Amino acid sequence: MNNKDTVIKDLRIYHAVSQLSRPIADATHDIDAIAFYIVEVECSNGMIGQGYLLAFEYSPNAIEGALKDIRRFVKDRKYHAYETRQLMQDYSKETEYFGNVGLNQWPLAAVNVAMWDAWAKCNKLPVYKLLGCHNHKIPVYGSGGWLNYTDQELIDEVVDYKKRGFTAVKIKVGSPDMERDIRRLHLVKEAVGSGINIMIDANQGMDVASAIKLISSVEDLGIFWFEEPIKNTNYDGYKTIHSSTRISLAMGEREYNTIPLRELIKRDAIDLWQPDIIRIGGVDAWRDAASLAGAYGIPMLPHYYKDYDVPLLTTIPNYYGAESFDWIDAIIDNTLPVENGFATPREGDGWGFRFLHKYMTEIKSNTP
């Protein structure tokens, strides 16, 4: 392979909407649309890599502007597909003035994921084989249980997950009426029986006292772990919940670096680390975060992006599991194999799947 073949010659941006898009709600947000931005990098040899980010309907002008900015940056500097860390370093300097922890990290991460896709394809390997593999099967759990679901919709969803072989489901909590949460968790337990683990997620919508009260109120259900019960920066609050209850705490999806992980470890206030591959900064940052968590015996249970997380989890020793949504399945060419509660990475080159162009609307840049 000629070294010049791997230079990124073009970067395209697209918008897509899930075929399953519908209004959903958690304890802190009402979400009107399940939508994504897709980045496509093209190398000089014609190899194309894709990466995507979950955007819902939030701040489209801001995120599209940030994506257009990095498009120009990457094309001007002619990075090779394998120069993922170099781009991370350079773009962090470029965006420091307006902040590189937050909005500007999303497009950087999406490009990073696309570069890994392209580089693995150049090597005719799946990403997980390029990185090396510890394990080939990863536990996955069915996610959902949105607060705006009716009781019947909630039951239908968890029963469907059970029928499909999932052995764990996650349910949203944090309703203004705690009794509603308690009642619905009992309904879920009754519907799925003893062979299914139940987890709960408050999306930071509770305070310390209410989180402890909820945990105590459903202790008989054997809730497996509690995700983001309170504000992500309330490290001492996590310590209080952890020391006052017997439930495992999961946290990390809102984080753009590993500072919160270090703070929670110091307080013995975390059991599962849940980085979001896009917020944390892409594949390289995800793996750095996994290494830090592993050094302290904290398993990885990343947020949302199963199509990237499953192959990456097979490359680390401290894997725990992955979150499963079906939101992109109808707009890609190859869905992730899931059987009996386990997912296996795709065998195709790169990430092993691509978004179908008939569902993608290109976002034109203001510059050539």
What is the tens place of the pLDDT at every residue in 77-95? 999 999 999 999 999 999 9
Instruction: For residues 336 and 325, give the distance between their C-alpha atoms in angstroms, rounded to a whole number.
Output: 11
Instruction: For residues 63 and 278, give the distance between their C-alpha atoms in angstroms, rounded to a whole number.
Output: 13
pLDDT band at 1 (very low <50, low <70, confident <90, very high): low
Percentage of residues in the chain with pLDDT exceeding 70? Answer: 98
Residue 338's pLDDT is what?
A: 92
Q: Which pair of tokens denotes residue 319?
A: 């894997």
- Does the pLDDT of residue 176 top 80, yes or no? yes
Looking at CATH, the fold of the domain delimited by 129-343 is given as TIM Barrel (3.20.20)
Q: Rg of the chain over CA atoms, in angstroms?
A: 20
Residue 343's pLDDT is what?
A: 96
**What is the average pLDDT value for the chain, to the nearest integer?**
95
Burial of 249 (0-12, 13-18, 19+ CB in 10 A): buried
Question: What is the torsional sign of CA 175, 36, 356, 335?
Answer: negative
CB 209 within 8 A of CB 185: no
Beta bridge partners of residue 361, listed in sequence order = 15
Instruction: For residues 37 and 361, give the distance between their C-alpha atoms in angstroms, rounded to a whole number.
Output: 9
- Alpha carbon 259 to chain centroid, angstroms: 18
pTM: 0.96
pLDDT digits (tens, 9 = 90+) for 79-136: 999 999 999 999 999 999 998 889 999 999 999 999 999 999 999 999 999 999 888 8
Cα distances from 221 to residues 26, 58, 229, in angstroms, run: 21, 36, 17
Q: Which pair of tokens denotes residue 327?
A: 């939101």
Mean pLDDT computed over 191-213 = 96
pLDDT digits (tens, 9 = 90+) for 295-334: 999 999 999 999 999 999 999 999 999 999 999 999 999 9
pLDDT digits (tens, 9 = 90+) for 136-156: 899 999 999 999 999 999 999
117-120 CB contacts, 8 Å cutoff, 24+ apart: 117/41, 117/49, 117/50, 117/51, 117/350, 117/351, 118/6, 118/8, 118/41, 118/42, 118/43, 118/47, 118/48, 118/49, 118/81, 118/350, 119/6, 119/49, 119/81, 119/82, 119/84, 120/349, 120/350, 120/351
pLDDT band at 194 (very low <50, low <70, confident <90, very high): confident
The CATH number of the domain covering residues in 3-124+355-362: 3.30.390.10
Residue 4's pLDDT is what?
A: 76
- Does the pLDDT of residue 368 top 60, yes or no? no
pLDDT digits (tens, 9 = 90+) for 21-65: 999 999 999 999 999 999 999 999 999 999 999 999 999 999 999
Which residue do the tokens 């192959």 mark?
Answer: 311
Question: What is the torsional sign of CA 120, 126, 131, 132?
Answer: negative
Percentage of residues in the chain with pLDDT exceeding 90? Answer: 94
Instruction: For residues 339 and 255, give the distance between their C-alpha atoms in angstroms, rounded to a whole number.
Output: 30
Give the helix/strand (H/E) hosting 62: helix 60-77
Q: Where are the domains of the chain?
A: 3-124+355-362, 129-343
Amino acid at 209: A
- Judge if 3-124+355-362 and 129-343 fold alike in CATH terms: no
Cα distances from 286 to residues 93, 161, 274, 334, in angstroms, run: 20, 28, 10, 24
